[in-house]
């Protein structure tokens, strides 16, 4: 996702990167602030939300029960009010993460 002066500019071609990107941990998350609107709508968390610093906040987390297992797996992809509940996306096992041979992404 574009950041800085390019944030609201017209799209530009993407420059390819060499090699393989590290995908062994969750990517950056947008910064969230307490606001009156979040409190009014009941979106204020009762516990601290995880925050992973960085500019590239448009990402997807994919979990599998056994990385490298042979064969194909059914997959599940969902959005459970992701913008208001980022903790759900970052904690496998808390929201129906991989079980019974299913790949899961958020």
Would you state the pLDDT for residue 81? 47
How many domains are there within the chain? 1
Contact 5, 55 (CB under 8 A): no
Would you state the pLDDT for residue 48? 66
Residue 86 lies in a domain: yes
Residue 96 lies in a domain: yes
- CA dist 60 and 71 (Å) reads 22
Residue 61 lies in a domain: no
Residue 65 lies in a domain: no
Would you state the pLDDT for residue 85? 47
Would you state the pLDDT for residue 78? 62
- Composition of the chain by helix, strand, coil, percent to 5: 10, 10, 80
Residue 4 lies in a domain: no
Residue 91 lies in a domain: yes
Q: Splitting the chain (106 residues) into consecutive groups of 10 residues, what average pLDDT does each group show? A: 80 86 80 71 69 78 72 68 46 50 64
Which residues are registered as beta bridge partners of 75?
A: 103
Q: For residue 93, what are the domain limits?
A: 75-100
Residue 48 lies in a domain: no
């Amino acid at each position: 996702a574009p950041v800085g002066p390019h944030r609201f500019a017209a799209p530009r071609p993407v420059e390819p990167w060499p090699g393989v990107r590290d995908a062994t941990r969750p990517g950056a998350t947008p910064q969230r602030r307490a606001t009156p609107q979040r409190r009014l709508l009941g979106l204020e968390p009762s516990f601290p939300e995880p925050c992973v610093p960085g500019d590239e906040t448009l990402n997807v987390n994919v979990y599998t029960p056994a990385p490298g297992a042979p064969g194909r797996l059914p997959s599940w992809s969902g959005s459970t009010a992701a913008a208001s509940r980022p903790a759900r996306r970052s904690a496998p096992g808390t929201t129906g993460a991989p079980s019974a041979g299913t790949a899961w992404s958020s």
